């Protein structure tokens, strides 16, 4: 797994996080869907998904303190791949 985001997410904040998909993997195809999922027990909620070119993003809210697996299933016309990473949730100021 590779960490998607360097900055920890605050438990009380809703913030937009994005993932840039390698154009080589896309091979000229457009992203049709981006389905986000989070690890059971994380209490991370995603909403307001966006796809702009090769960048997918979602608004992440809530979360329990810890390191949690986040997955983004990306689908084009001819392929599907799940990208996995870690979201760090902290109690901030």
Residue spans of the domains in the chain: they are 9-90
CATH superfamily of 9-90: Immunoglobulins (2.60.40.10)
3-state secondary structure of 22: coil
- pLDDT tens column, 11-41: 989 999 999 999 999 999 999 999 999 999 9
Task: Give residue 1's pLDDT.
Answer: 38
Torsions phi, psi for 58 (to 5 deg)? -150, 155
Query: What is the pTM for the complete model shown?
Result: 0.87
Task: Tell whether the model's pLDDT for residue 61 goes beyond 50.
Answer: yes
Mean pLDDT of the region 60-88: 95
Q: Is the pLDDT of residue 87 over 60?
A: yes
Please compute, for residue 32, the number of CA atoms within 13 A of its CA located in the half-sphere on the CB side. Answer: 8
């Amino acid at each position: 797994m590779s960490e998607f985001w360097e900055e920890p997410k605050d438990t009380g904040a809703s913030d937009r996080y994005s993932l840039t998909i390698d154009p080589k993997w896309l091979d000229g195809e457009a992203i049709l869907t981006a389905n986000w999922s989070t690890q059971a027990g994380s209490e991370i909620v995603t909403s307001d998904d966006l796809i702009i070119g090769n960048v997918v993003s979602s608004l992440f809210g809530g979360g329990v303190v810890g390191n949690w697996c986040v997955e983004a299933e990306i689908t084009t016309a001819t392929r599907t791949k799940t990208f996995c990473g870690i979201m760090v949730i902290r109690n901030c100021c």
